[in-house]
Amino acid sequence: MKIKITSIIVLIILAIVSLIYLFPIYWTLVTALKNSLQIFTYPPIFFPTKITLSNFYTPGNVFGAVSQTAVGSIPWMIDSTIVAIIATLLSTILIAAPAAYSLVRYIKSIWFGRLILFMTMIPEAVFVVPFFLIVAKINLLNTWWGLIIVYISFTAPFATWLLMGFFNDIPKSVEEAAQIDGLSPFQIFYKISLRLVTPGIIAALVLNFISCWNELLYALVITYSPFPSGAQTVPIFLTSFIIVEKSFAWGGLAAAGIFTMLPTIILGIFAQKYLARGLTMGAVKG
């Protein structure tokens, strides 16, 4: 009997926590499906009986002003997708994986790992001006590569730290067996060790993609127009809903929010089990 009570309590707590996390998404979805009248009604409507899709493709009309639509987000989506994919792939596979492997197997210093972890904790604002100056100097402002370079600066250390835990878990004897079988150090890394940390790589790829996708501060500073002339990303697009004749275009914002949330949600669902391992791995190691 005792067991049943604790598991019920746990279930209730989990339900409450899930509600807290999921409610904002639900509210955004519901708002996206309401017309402006319903949005401003008080008390708030939690379960609308009438829904509309106009927020997704019709320019919103708030207090007489015209705002963007969800579908209008596509140029920004293109920028975000390209920048996020390239930055994530380069930082995770080209930089983080070899770095993590050599740190774990060759350099073997705990302090280096801790230093890298520390780097991921530094607030973005610290680097905004330096990054702007650097990117401007090399003439990459408002370009994909300008953003990609900046994004690699925070995705690479994070992925390195995450992968260090995974590489550490590989029993040394497997790599020694490969050594005796005649593989060169690079072959051991590429054919054996890298294959054995796939969950970690996927976790790193997904988490990095999401952080690139959601990144606002650096993008604001480094870009000023969307595809095809520039490289403005989705978070910037969403800010255009903020000031519309001294008010928020709630409906349009919600719709755009849902629309631009989709890639990351889909990724997250796909990589669910890898993410769980990836995050708890990080918590135990470090």
Partner 1 sequence: MSEVIIENVTKKFGKNVVLDNINLKIDAKEFFVLLGPSGSGKTTLLRLIAGLEEITSGSIYIGGRKVNNMSPKERNVAMVFQNYALYPHMNVYENIALPLKVRHLSDDQVREKVKSISAVLHIEDILDKKPGQISGGQQQRVALARALVRDPSVFLLDEPLSNLDAKLRVEARVFLKKLQKEVGITTIFVTHDQAEALTMATKIAVLNKGVITQVGDPYELYRRPNDIFTAGFVGSPAMNMMRGKIRRSYSGSGWMFVNDDISLDLNGIEPNGEEREIFMGIRPEHIKLVESGSGGIDSTVFAVEPLGSVTYITVNVGKTQLILQHLGEIKLDVGSSIKIQLDLNSLLFYDVTSGKRLSTN
Which residues contribute to the site for partner 1 (CB under 8 A)? 171, 173-174, 176-183, 187, 191-192, 195-196
Residue placing its CB nearer to partner 1 in the complex, 170 or 221: 170
Q: What is the SS3 assignment for 62?
A: strand
Q: Which residues contact 19 (CB under 8 A, 6 or more apart)?
A: none
CA 51 to chain centroid, in Å, comes to 30
In the 8-state DSSP scheme, what is residue 17?
A: H
N residues, the chain = 286
Residue placing its CB nearer to partner 1 in the complex, 149 or 197: 197
Residue 108 CB, nearest distance to partner 1 (Å)? 14
Residue 191 CB, nearest distance to partner 1 (Å)? 8
Residue placing its CB nearer to partner 1 in the complex, 124 or 181: 181
Residue 190 CB, nearest distance to partner 1 (Å)? 12
Q: Helix 272-284 to helix 144-169 angle, to the nearest 10 degrees?
A: 70
Residue 176 CB, nearest distance to partner 1 (Å)? 5
Residue 201 CB, nearest distance to partner 1 (Å)? 13
Beta bridge partners of 244: 247
Among the listed residues 112, 283, 268, the one whose alpha carbon sits nearest the alpha carbon of residue 205 = 268
Residue placing its CB nearer to partner 1 in the complex, 114 or 191: 191
Give the DSSP per-residue string, 183-237. --HHHIIIIIIHHHTHHHHHHHHHHHHHHHHH--HHHHHH--S-TTTS---HHHH
Residue placing its CB nearer to partner 1 in the complex, 183 or 216: 183
